[in-house]
């Protein structure tokens, strides 16, 4: 074969290989839209396909300012090829009452919940943002996001009521020994509140810090044996977060926030705030199930 013919054949082969690679790397954007129920936009520059759900139904007032979706009220999920898999990341905008039902759907669908926090102060109604992520099969991830957004739409039509409880923290009437036995840790009773603190350790700037510096999991119980509330904080290593979340939601304990308390610590800790209402024994058992998922106490 002549040199020019060889060159042309080589170019054709290279073009076919490039086309094949591009096809392998492509996202099925139409399928993602169908499964999530949302329209999206593809970024050629980054190879990312993003679907969005503007929360135009919330209309919060922030210190007298009426917000619109473009000011941070757009729920979204972005898909990107990651080798043989697809990666998804997103941010779900919700009212307070929507958080835990939607979180349960996300966790049950195989997605990770990576943060939960506010983006505004003085907002009414209160708006919270839940960050999610995942990596795996494109179809399965899109199906999971479809279930999450379907739950959001359901709750937009019929928001759930908060878990109300008429409890005076100064009038505790449960036996703290029941909590001690279940959790395997003792606490202190003061002002009608029974508080248990479980310490962990980290290093900051080469120095060890522990329970009294805030590296701890704690729980505060108030109420009666039949109707109590518990609130507190879980200190988690990064790989423990998802299992702790699943255990708390299975116990119907509400997750209030997920964020960091420190910067530069080793190992890195993530903190989770929670709120539960129910019989004191059920609440303690729910916390115990979450503690059991952690690798060390």
pLDDT tens by residue, the chain, 297 residues = 555 554 544 554 444 344 334 444 699 999 999 999 999 999 999 999 999 999 999 999 999 999 999 999 999 999 999 999 999 999 999 999 999 999 999 999 999 999 999 999 999 999 999 999 999 999 999 999 999 999 999 999 988 888 888 888 888 889 999 999 999 999 999 999 999 999 999 999 999 999 999 999 999 999 999 999 999 999 999 999 999 999 999 999 999 999 999 999 999 999 999 999 999 999 999 999 999 999 755
> For the structural domain made of 25-157, what CATH number should be given?
3.30.1460
DSSP 128: E
Q: Who's near 128: CB < 8 A, 6+ residues apart?
A: 93, 94, 95, 96, 99, 116, 117, 118
Topology at the third CATH level for domain 176-292: Alpha-Beta Plaits (3.30.70)
Q: Where in the chain is CATH 3.30.1460?
A: 25-157
Among residues 79, 48, 72, the alpha carbon closest in space to that of 58 is found at 72
Strands 123-124 and 61-62: antiparallel
Q: pTM (2 decimals)? A: 0.88
Compute how many other C-beta atoms are within 10 angstroms of the C-beta atom of residue 68: 14
Q: Where in the chain is CATH 3.30.70?
A: 176-292
Q: Are 276 and 230 in contact (CB under 8 A)?
A: yes
Among residues 276, 290, 288, the alpha carbon closest in space to that of 248 is found at 290
Tokens 């993602």 locate to 32
pLDDT at residue 2, as a whole number: 53
């Amino acid at each position: 074969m002549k040199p020019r013919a060889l060159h042309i054949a080589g170019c054709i082969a290279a073009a076919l290989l490039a086309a094949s690679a591009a096809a392998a790397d492509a996202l099925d954007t139409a399928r993602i839209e169908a499964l999530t129920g949302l329209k999206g936009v593809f970024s050629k520059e980054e190879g990312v396909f993003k679907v969005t759900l503007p929360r135009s139904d919330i209309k919060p007032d922030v210190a007298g300012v009426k917000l619109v979706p473009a000011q941070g009220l757009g729920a979204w999920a972005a898909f990107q090829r990651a080798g043989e898999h697809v990666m998804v990341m997103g941010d779900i905008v919700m009212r307070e009452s929507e958080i835990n039902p939607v979180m349960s759907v996300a966790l049950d669908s195989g997605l990770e919940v990576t943060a939960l926090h506010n983006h505004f102060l003085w907002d009414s109604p209160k708006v919270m943002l839940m960050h999610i992520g995942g990596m795996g099969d494109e179809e399965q991830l899109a199906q999971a996001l479809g279930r999450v957004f379907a739950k959001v739409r359901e709750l937009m039509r019929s928001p759930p009521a908060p878990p109300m409880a008429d409890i005076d923290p100064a009038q505790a009437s449960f036996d703290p020994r029941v909590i001690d036995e279940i959790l395997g840790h003792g606490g202190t009773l003061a002002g009608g509140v029974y508080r248990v603190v479980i310490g962990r350790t980290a290093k900051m700037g080469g120095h060890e810090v522990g329970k009294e510096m805030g590296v701890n999991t704690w729980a505060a119980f108030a109420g009666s044996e039949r109707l109590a509330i518990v609130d507190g904080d879980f200190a988690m290593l990064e790989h423990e977060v998802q299992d702790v979340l699943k255990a708390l939601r299975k116990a119907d304990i509400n997750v209030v926030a997920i964020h960091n308390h420190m910067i530069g610590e080793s190992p890195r800790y993530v903190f989770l705030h929670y709120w539960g209402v129910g019989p004191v024994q059920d609440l303690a058992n729910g916390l115990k199930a979450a503690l059991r998922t952690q690798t060390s106490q």
